[in-house]
Amino acid sequence: MTVNSENKRSNFIPMAIVAGLFFILGFATWLNGSLMPYLKQILQLSPLQASLILFSFYIAVTFTALPSAWLIRKVGYKTGMALGMGIMMIAGLLFIPAAKTQVFGLFLFAQLVMGAGQTLLQTAVNPYVVRLGPEESAAARVSVMGILNKGAGVIAPLVFSALILDSFRDRVGMELTPAHIDEMANSLVIPYLGMALFIGLLAILVKKSPLPELENEEDDVAVSGKGHTREALSHPNLALGVVALFFYVAVEVIAGDTIGTFALSLGIGSYGVMTSYTMICMVVGYIIGILTIPRFISQPKALMVSAILGMVLTLGILFGDNESYAIANTVLVPFGGAQLPDTLLMIALLGLANAIVWPAVWPLALSGMGKLTSTGSALLVMGIAGGAFGPLFWGLTSSVTPLGIQGGYMVMFPCYLFILFYAVKGHKMKSWK
């Protein structure tokens, strides 16, 4: 069964399945924002050690992308999805011995496996978004899937807090006894067991679902050897685009997954839900982008605005007062929201600055690539490595700067500066001369 033989039937059920998988991907990815400060509290980690929780996840995404593509060509897209979820199920089960032993290395290994499973699932599911439906409406489908992914990022921290964190809010800022640590660590067992079983069940359902198998298309991926890669990188707009996406993913992950750790350092008991604030801002940014680009603003100008907003917010975070609540008192408290420090909410607002960077850089980087488009796309995906190294440098800087965790956010400024350069000049460059 192929997409071509099914083109007269409704794509509603396949697209609903794909949408559900994008939600699962987002849920498991943005759960890191709650898990990171929770493990920091239990295992008494330094900021640098805590950043390894994100590093181990995203480094797996980086180095398993090409093997995932090879595996999918061998077994097919639908089987690839099921295998990806099977690996994610194994990762969920690995959290059980990690929680029981409280060995940091086991948590990192579980994160590594989770990242590998996610990569396989994402590599298999992404092509469906483009090919299940008219090509001219693919961009709209990509945007909807992006909203689902970030919407899951809103829900995941809320679920984590409801199932795990709410019982231990009174322990923020206190010295934990071994009994406290055991109790908090063991609270991870049932939720991760449940998540593993749920994902395993989904893997079986997807394998048996009416989701059509995609035909493997002959493209540049099959012949993208060193020559093709070198030729693609000879296009400055592509090469600089890869760097821009590296820096973008770095700041996206820093904003989404370290906000809870910063909240914990400020003694905020609800630190586990902080990622939801960043994700809400990202969803708003997605919607603004869909409504305004290119109708009212071009992609380069939107990218420029995003970079400038990111730089301004970064300076606000670095030099802001943790005792000031002006933003919360203006936009949250009057509507029954929490009173949170300005610095914390400025990290959340970075979601607004980050939302349209990926969809803006991608077409600018691939402009004029012609037959090298597939090779260029593969190189752009490698920019996800920024999710591994951005938090790592944030953690390293947090450990050495006098401002501590707050000072760690200075690593974002040069990232946004490069994105601004790409928006103004980099995407226009057609030659290195």
- pLDDT tens, 79-88? 888 999 999 9
Helices (H) and strands (E) in the chain, counts: 21, 0
- What is the mean pLDDT of the segment spanning 94-105? 94
Which domains does the chain show, CATH number per domain? 11-207 (1.20.1250.20), 223-433 (1.20.1250.20)
Q: CB-based burial of residue 316 (10 Å sphere; 0-12 exposed, 13-18 middle, 19+ buried)?
A: middle
With tokens 């797996």, the residue in question is 60
- What is the mean pLDDT of the segment spanning 63-84? 85
Q: What is the pLDDT of residue 137?
A: 59
Beta-carbon contacts of 321 under 8 Å, excluding residues fewer than 6 positions away, are: 341, 342, 343
Top pLDDT among 176 and 377 is at 176
Beta-carbon contacts of 168 under 8 Å, excluding residues fewer than 6 positions away, are: 183, 184, 187
pLDDT confidence bin for 19, thresholds 50/70/90: confident
Phi and psi, residue 249, nearest 5°: -65, -35
What SS3 state is found at 213?
A: strand
pLDDT confidence bin for 135, thresholds 50/70/90: low
- In tens, the pLDDT along 271-318 reads 888 989 999 998 898 888 878 877 888 888 889 999 999 999 999 999
Candidate from 85-99, 124-138, 168-182, 304-318 with smallest mean pLDDT:
124-138
pTM as predicted: 0.83
Rounded Cα distance between 166 and 9, Å, is: 47
Q: Is the pLDDT of residue 227 over 60?
A: yes
Q: What is the pLDDT of residue 391?
A: 92
Nearest to 190, CA basis, from 155, 168, 164: 164
- In tens, the pLDDT along 319-365 reads 999 999 999 999 989 988 889 999 999 999 999 999 888 878 888 88
Measured at the CA of 89, the angle between CA 85 and CA 91, to 5 degrees, comes to 115
- Cα atoms found within 13 Å of the Cα of residue 180, Cβ hemisphere only: 16
Segment of 135-149, 196-210, 219-233 carrying the highest mean pLDDT = 196-210
Rounded Cα distance between 278 and 276, Å, is: 5
Top pLDDT among 1 and 96 is at 96
Q: Is the dihedral of CA 246, 24, 150, 165 positive or negative?
A: negative
Q: What is the pLDDT of residue 153?
A: 86
Segment of 103-107, 138-142, 219-223, 429-433 carrying the highest mean pLDDT = 103-107
Q: Is the pLDDT of residue 6 over 90?
A: no
pLDDT confidence bin for 136, thresholds 50/70/90: low
- Cα→Cα distances 69→121, 381, 387, Å: 10, 12, 20
Top pLDDT among 3 and 14 is at 14
- What's the mean per-residue pLDDT of the chain? 85
- In tens, the pLDDT along 151-167 reads 888 898 899 888 887 77
Q: What is the pLDDT of residue 139?
A: 57
Q: What is the pLDDT of residue 5?
A: 46
The Cα diameter of the chain in Å comes to: 65
